[in-house]
Amino acid sequence: MIQKPRGTQDIFEIKSKQYNDLENTIINVLKTYNLNEIRTPIFEAKELFVRSVGETSDVVSKEMYEFFDKKGREFVLRPEGTAPIVRSLIENKLYAPEFLPLKLYYVGPMFRYERPQTGRYRQFEQIGVEILGVDSVYQDIEILAMLDSITKAIKIDTKVELDLNYLVTGKQREIYIKELTKFLVDFDDLCDDCEVRIHKNPLRTLDCKIDFNKFKTAPKMTSFLSKEDEQRFQQILEAGKKIGLKININQRLVRGLDYYTGLIFELKYLESSLGSQSTIIAGGRYNNLVKDLDGPDLPAIGFAMGVERLILILEENQINLNHDHGIDLYTIALSSEAMILNLEIIRDLRNNDIRVETDYLNRSLKSNFKQAEKLQAKNVIVIGDNEIKTQKIVIKNQINKAQTEVKISDLVEEMKAGK
């Protein structure tokens, strides 16, 4: 039997509803911040991610699904969402003044070749936010407030904490990297990846999951910030506190992608059920990426979250987002003549946004009512010879058990009034 690839999953029935509930809840929050959706291809040129995410990052060096097309061009299944959006912005000239600030969100599958584990798949669903064209402390605060709004909407705000750091920039970054390199070369037992990173990208060693605990005494970035960066970071911390955000400063937070500059953050789940993968939302400012990909000098900030990990948290805490999955009406036809009338009725109802299901399996009346219960039908109607003759029908309300007789010609209006 052919089976699904390792690290993927089939999503159906209750699980599919969980995905829809979670995504719709978060999208509704993002719309209150005036964000609009963007959809980009699920495969892109490999060069896009090499130039943006970084050649020494785990994503590029180990995790991308790569392939050549029939003309020998090298593509990858997208491993993350920011670079494709920047590519789209440049290609479609969305940096024109009439588009700015560009406030976008995306929902879709990402792909990384890595060991499957709790809440982590090789194909996974991600929701992300990108705001381009504004370099403001207040925009930074709004992004952090957005995280707070999301966690409140999905009812996990008491179970998470927000870690912040500020990456050194400009000349101070060069000074810090020299000091960090001096610190790192004294180790003779680092993992193979860190041995490479010391010379190619020392900052990335701080993100190592193997040697992480060895770097507790590493030089602190905040000690190397320029006056401007230090002031900005303090403004973010103070403003965040004033609007009620709970923030931790994490000096060793660097994030795993090379394009970040300045403010970076991770929202972490406080329970241990996700193991080492406790980060559920992460992002930061990336003011140089648009320019680095041959676009204009345009500041940007964003974040992304993994849907699978969030669903695990909702399940663990028995959180129901209370979206209505029931149908408005279940219809039962008792004869072939009744089925013809039934088809006419349900077509008119569906054309008026009434959610309807009917039986085509010739179930018994008792089995049909059980099916209506399974589908959480709010109402049931039975169509037989008498209904054909009188052109009247009884709506059986499955919630309060009331029964209402109406003309078939008035059924649509009656159902719309009862929604």
Annotated binding site for L-histidine: 80-82, 112, 126, 130, 255, 259-260
Find out whether 391 and 366 touch, Cβ atoms under 8 Å: no
Residue 136, helix vs strand vs coil: coil
How many of the other CB atoms lie within 10 Å of CB of 81?
23
123/111 Cα distance (integer angstroms): 5
The amino acid occupying position 138 is Y
Q: Which of 363, 46, 1, 312 is nearest to 156 (CA)?
A: 312
Residue 269, helix vs strand vs coil: strand
Residue numbers in the known binding site are: 80-82, 112, 126, 130, 255, 259-260
Token output for 118:
């709790």
The sheet carrying 300-306 orders its strands as 36-37, 102-111, 123-132, 300-306, 279-285, 263-269, 160-166, 247-249
Q: What are phi and psi of 71, to 5 degrees?
A: -100, 10
Q: For the purposes of burial, counting CB atoms within 10 Å of the CB of 157, is it exposed (0-12), middle (13-18) or buried (19 or more)?
A: middle
Token output for 297:
């000098």
Q: For the purposes of burial, counting CB atoms within 10 Å of the CB of 418, is it exposed (0-12), middle (13-18) or buried (19 or more)?
A: middle
Angular region, 401: left φ>0, alpha ψ -120 to 50, beta rest: left
